[in-house]
Amino acid sequence: MISKTFKILNPTGFHVRPTKTFVQTANKYPCKINVMNKGKKVNGKSSLSMLTLGIGAQDEVTLETDGEREEEAMEALGQLLTQVHE
């Protein structure tokens, strides 16, 4: 298992569009993916679960990947968490 914390740089936080992209990318990997924000932990492969985290700008979010291709998943999803979206 790999765990890493990322700061959300998008000024509007992690709203529906970036969440959709994140979940689509997460589902390409066979490993378990969990996302934590403000003490709450959810399945990173579920859009609804991700939206319940209420990830805002400058929040520090912890990403956990566990299993096959966990390193690839961490790299790809970490980039999405720190990306500035339109």
**Residue 64: both structure tokens together:** 């956990």
Q: Say whether 85 is catalytic.
A: no
Q: Where does residue 53 fall: left (phi above 0), alpha (psi -120 to 50 degrees), or beta otherwise? A: alpha
Measured distance CA(41)–CA(46) in Å, rounded: 12
Q: Which of 7, 15, 38, 41 is catalytic?
A: 15
Type and span of the H or E element at 35: strand 32-37
Q: Active-site residue numbers?
A: 15
